[in-house]
Structure 1
Amino acid sequence: MALVGLFWITEESVHLGAEPVGPTSGVRLTEDGVQGLGNAPDPSWSWDEVRRVEIRDVKVRSVARRRVALTLGALYAAVTGDADEPPSCTLRVETADRTAELSFYASAVGGIYSPAEFALSRTLLDRIAGGGARVGDLLAWRREQADDTTPPPEEREALLRMWAGGQGY
């Protein structure tokens, strides 16, 4: 698995935020559409049905503010022994017939994303929903990686720019 912006990318699937384990909620993106996970029955829509997607409730901080927040969170957990669960985020999916909200857990350390990665992730998701980018490009990139490590920030942003710009991998 590799994290690039809001996307959790494995060789087989792409998720928004963390890949859900067990009954936890999540969002999977496929070539065919978007699927809510952990909600019985799991809702799904084809990309042709989706008119608009919107990501909400995501923590976005500058690099400096992110470091401070992570340090304070680590100190709090060390002193109290109480670690927080990752923050929950929301994907709002609009179709001609209805609007639905799907929950997913943030996958970034501390649940905090940089402004650039968040903005590029939103742009990429909009392009996927509009047919200008493909989930298959993210999967193809992951399959060509030698290991499961997440790329450094500069490489993640470059990948997001490439995919959001409509350039395949």
Structure 2
Amino acid sequence: MAMVGLFWIVEGDVYVGAKPSGESPGVRLTSEGVLALGHGQAGLYPWEDVGALTVVDVPVKSLKRQVGAVADMALGTVLAFGVGSGGGDDAPPLMTVRLAAFGDERELGAYAAAAVGYTATEVELSRAVLARLTEGAATMSTTLAEMSRWGRAREGGSPRAGEREALLRGWADR
């Protein structure tokens, strides 16, 4: 499994945001269409009906967000050793996947996979890849197949920032 921009790629499966588990919201991109997963949003939107696809409410990496993540980790360690009482919301930020289909706009939820947010460049490039997927069947098929092929061949987790950006640029230009 690997994270490349806003995409979580597990073997041949491509998700926007984190791969959901249980009833958690999520969005999977398949050769048939955009598959909404989770409680209250399950459904398949065929590619031929999808006119636009973008993501908003994306957490962008910042120094403040990184410091907050370190502070949360430190607090979690203290609480794990029995000092104080814990609680708190450990859920990652929820992003909104906007999908124009069937003559109107749908909003689907997907959790962010990046603990401290995504770089602005990766967000921009990921949105370009999503736009590319809606340009027609041949473009979608080629781009999604390349993303899946890369995921099946990938070993060792997520690549470094430079490689992630290069992959996104390549997928956006397919």
Deviations 1:7-60 (A, max 9, x none): 110123110111111111100001221011013562211111011112111111
Using the TM superposition, name which of 52-61 and 13-22 deviates more. 52-61
Aligned residues: 163
- TM-score, normalised relative to structure 1: 0.86
* 2:82 match: none
Asked if residue 117 in structure 1 is aligned to residue 117 in structure 2, the reply is no
Q: 1:158 corresponds to which letter in structure 2? A: A
Percent same amino acid at aligned positions? 39
Native 8 Å contact 1:77 1:83 kept in 2: no
Q: 1:67 corresponds to which letter in structure 2? A: Q
Q: 2:121 corresponds to which letter in structure 1? A: A
Q: 1:45 corresponds to which letter in structure 2? A: Y
Gaps of 5+ in 2: 80-85
- TM-score, normalised relative to structure 2: 0.84
* 2:70 match: 71
RMSD, aligned α-carbons: 2.0
Displacement of 1:149: 1.1
* 1:21 match: 21
Pick the structure with greater CA Rg: 2
* Alignment partners' CA distance in 2, 1:137 and 1:149: 18
Gaps of 5+ in 1: none
* 2:151 match: 142
Asked if residue 157 in structure 1 is aligned to residue 165 in structure 2, the reply is yes
* Alignment partners' CA distance in 2, 1:105 and 1:159: 22
* Alignment partners' CA distance in 2, 1:148 and 1:15: 18
* 1:2 match: 2
